[in-house]
Structure 1
Amino acid sequence: MKAEAWIFAACTIFFALVSPTYWFVTAGSEHGGDWTGTSALVMCTLLMAMITLYIGFHAKQMDPRPEDRKDGEIADGAGELGFFPPFSWWPLWCALSLAFVVFAVAMAAWWLFIIGAVVGFICVAGLVFEYYRGEHAH
């Protein structure tokens, strides 16, 4: 995970350099600097720094993965990687119900929001419990 930490560190440095540069470049405009873009870049810098610190901290705590070791072989990473679900319709219905809810908020139609939230709750429950019924029941 040290490679990932270095990638995020490079992104942090990039955003740290771009943020003040952006503010100085836009300071010549009629508004005296674009605070919206500058604050967005500063937040990106802080979020990248947070991810860098988190990954860097955990990279020191854990044993190196096969791809992190210089003497690692391809066969060292063999084995089961986890469960990856096959085709499912539930993510589509979850996304559509979320779009329905956002549309209802934008139109201030609270009755539509309630309907969308109930449908969304049913869809999320269906997605979560999809593999606890039928032939996949535990």
Structure 2
Amino acid sequence: MRVEAWLFSAGVAFFVPIGLIYGYVADWEAVGTVGFLLLGGMFALAGGYMWITARRIDIRPEDTPTADIEDRAGEVGVFSPHSWWPLVLGVAVTLAFAGIAIGWWMTGLGFAVGIVGLVGQLFEFSRGQHVH
């Protein structure tokens, strides 16, 4: 996790000074200056999370330079190979964003489809073939 934390911290160290330099050169133009500073803030949030998580967990095989590929072998997680719910969620996001251009009623339709897709994704392993 330390490599990821350093990577995101480098993003903060890059975008915050760039935002300040851009603001000075562009006479504090609002959109670009705020955009760069918010980008640095987003990197700070992700990097801070990585630093906190890296302190709480044990060192991973990915963080050890002498580790072998076999050290990371084993179960990674639980994934549903035949799930259609991510497609439903993708359609919902498409409808919601298309609603900004077409009409706000479509955004509401996208949110409704999104609720159905989210409930389906969450409870997929509670019924049917893949019940746990």
- Partners in 2 of 1:101 and 1:136 — Cα distance? 30
- Partners in 2 of 1:49 and 1:89 — Cα distance? 35
State the Cα deviation string for residues 38-96 of structure 1 (Å, max 9, x = none).
01111111221222222112212321101212332222211111112214322222222
Residue aligning to 2:5: 5
Residue aligning to 1:76: 71
Compared CA separation, residues 75 and 50, structure 1 to 2 (3 A): same
Compared CA separation, residues 54 and 25, structure 1 to 2 (3 A): same
Matches within 5 A, 1:117-128: 117-128=111-122
Residue aligning to 1:30: none
- Partners in 2 of 1:81 and 1:72 — Cα distance? 18
Residue aligning to 1:100: 95
Give, as a single letter, the amino acid of the residue that structure 2 aligns with 1:64. I
Flag structure 2 segments of 5+ consecutive residues without an equivalent.
none
Matches within 5 A, 1:28-107: 33-104=28-99, 107=103
- Partners in 1 of 2:40 and 2:82 — Cα distance? 37
TM-score, normalised relative to structure 2: 0.81
Give, as a single letter, the amino acid of the residue that structure 2 aligns with 1:2. R
- Partners in 1 of 2:56 and 2:115 — Cα distance? 38
Cα RMSD after superposing both structures: 2.3
- Partners in 1 of 2:99 and 2:114 — Cα distance? 13
Compared CA separation, residues 101 and 8, structure 1 to 2 (3 A): closer
Compared CA separation, residues 104 and 7, structure 1 to 2 (3 A): closer
Compared CA separation, residues 96 and 59, structure 1 to 2 (3 A): same
Flag structure 1 segments of 5+ consecutive residues without an equivalent.
28-32
Residues matched between the structures, number = 131
TM-score, normalised relative to structure 1: 0.78
